[in-house]
Amino acid sequence: MPHDVIMPALGMAQDTGLLLAWHKKPGDEVAEGDVLFEVETDKASMEVEAQAAGYLTDVSAEPGSDVPVGQTIALISENPKGNGSKSSAPPTSEPSGNDVDAESPARDSADIDGKQVIMPALGMAQDTGLIISWAKAAGDAVSADDVLLEVETDKSAMEVPAGFDGYVAAILAEAGENVPVGVVIAVISAEKPDAPVTRSAKSGTPEPAAGSTSMKSAAGAETASPAKTQKASSPEKAVPVAPPAASGSKILASPKAKRLAKEQGLDLERLVRAGTPQPFHVADLETLKSLPEETAPATATQAATRRIVAEVSGSALADFVDWLARELGQKVRREAVLAGFAASALRATDQSDAIGVQTEVRGLVRAYQDPDLAGLGRSEPMEGAGAPSLVVRDLSGTPVTSVQLGAETAPVLSVSGTGSTLTITCECPGDTVSAGTALALVTGFAERVGDPLRQLL
């Protein structure tokens, strides 16, 4: 299936991007990570990388042209001829309960005076953005550098600045809604608005912010229905808050709250079960700590352990470590290479947070932080590390050939065996690691150990 190449948003104040140059020609083969084109706005320029492998086809924008944010400008296809069609509309994703149609009435904000704030593209593979929370309410004063809202995609979360000085005249999408890239989600006016608007992007129905008069009432009370009159007179929340989600669904929380919860071993799912409104912030962690301890079901003990075993060739790893040491001109720890492979495999399962890896070799324990990002062989052990994201035990060269120790707090990857065959055993807690994630982790790690050059591609 072809992959859309879209014009990204480099900032909240950006409506279009100037296409400076293409680095690939139609029909050229591209790899994921290759530079495709250069784009420029009033404040920044950047090289945009391909987010999929294939062939560049269906190029619809020429160098020197201004292209609207979110518009498809080319495809990455499975063959050099492509599919013979070009899409000029922003890409759409599969609908979900909180998804907003790009043609929703909420896009019609021409009746509200001010500068439009759009849903930015945080990456080329992004079709929509999930609004985690609004940092400002309708009617609030803002400066261009003030944080306006938090947005999350499948791979990252970020705080988005307002981009303009003035007042929040309208908030056109609620927390918890998935909004297509390029859709207007707020309006910032130069003057303080008389009737700031807060509404859902799905309904497109304007609602007043707290303490203001509704638009219907301002136009004439006789035209408003009793139901709307009652709604206009009732107090509104200043900032839309996502309703409590069902247990097991996606949790909305600020990046800092997620990070602290992970570092402190706190389960945000408990706040969901307690009915605490989302999105969660750092202050909610105190509420979480005060919750009474839960009693695990008696039948959950055996089901909480997952164990997966894989076998790979061991000769390629030894040769790779020797080659890497010669290339770097320094001694390379085998454990550091294994830590890098493990972190890379875990990150490929959509783990976007920092990854700490603990290695254990013949009783010697070391900790590495994001060893896959530091460069193979270059990562150094660190002191005072917190709880690891996963553990790598190198038992190769010892008499141990099989491992079944049970699940620990973090997934454990054990490497054992002698000679030309290595056995990789993954043991992890079933209540925090899904079967799909466990399989992807051990498969990715085993493939990297069996064919280390894969890590360099």
Q: What residues does each domain of the chain span?
A: 3-77, 105-217+225-233, 255-290, 302-456
Whether 105-217+225-233 and 302-456 share one fold: the answer is no
Cis peptide, bond prior to residue 371, ω within 30 of zero? no
pLDDT at 143: 92
Statement: residue 88 has pLDDT above 80: no
pLDDT at 12: 54
CB 285, CB 264: distance < 8 Å: yes
Burial 201-235 (b: 16+ CB within 10 A, else e): bbebebbbbeebebbbbeeeeeebeeebeebbeee
Statement: residue 421 has pLDDT above 50: yes
Please state which of the four CATH numbers 3.40.50.300, 2.60.40.10, 2.40.50.100, 3.10.20.30 is assigned to the domain occupying 105-217+225-233: 2.40.50.100
Asked which of 21-25, 150-154, 269-273 is least confident by mean pLDDT, the reply is 150-154
d(CA 92, CA 8): 15
pLDDT at 237: 40
User: What average pLDDT does range 380-397 have in this prediction?
Assistant: 85
User: What average pLDDT does range 25-31 have in this prediction?
Assistant: 92
More confidently predicted of 447 and 153: 447
Statement: residue 218 has pLDDT above 80: no
Length of the chain: 457
User: What average pLDDT does range 221-229 have in this prediction?
Assistant: 36
Looking at the chain, the whole-number percentage of residues with pLDDT higher than 90 is: 13
pLDDT at 83: 61
Statement: residue 256 has pLDDT above 80: no
pLDDT at 206: 40
d(CA 298, CA 380): 43
How many Cβ atoms sit within 10 Å of the Cβ of residue 36? 22
d(CA 58, CA 77): 9
More confidently predicted of 161 and 106: 161
Q: Dump pLDDT digits (tens) for 304-338.
A: 688 889 988 888 888 888 888 888 888 888 888 89
User: What average pLDDT does range 385-413 have in this prediction?
Assistant: 85
Output the CA angle 113-116-121, nearest 5 degrees.
170
More confidently predicted of 223 and 413: 413
CATH topology of domain 3-77: OB fold (Dihydrolipoamide Acetyltransferase, E2P) (2.40.50)
If you average pLDDT over every residue of the chain, what do you get? 77
Statement: residue 238 has pLDDT above 60: no
Statement: residue 110 has pLDDT above 60: no
Statement: residue 208 has pLDDT above 60: no
Statement: residue 251 has pLDDT above 60: yes
What sign results for the dihedral spanned by CA atoms 92, 95, 99, 103?
A: positive
pLDDT band (50, 70, 90) for residue 302:
very low
Q: Dump pLDDT digits (tens) for 158-207.
A: 788 888 899 999 999 998 888 887 788 999 999 999 989 998 877 654 44
Q: Is 39 helix (H, G, I), strand (E, B) or coil?
A: strand
Asked which of 13-22, 71-80, 280-289 is least confident by mean pLDDT, the reply is 13-22
pLDDT at 249: 62
d(CA 201, CA 242): 13
**Which residues 6+ apart lie within 8 Å of 262 measured at CB?**
353
Give this prediction's pTM: 0.36
CATH superfamily of 302-456: Chloramphenicol acetyltransferase-like domain (3.30.559.10)
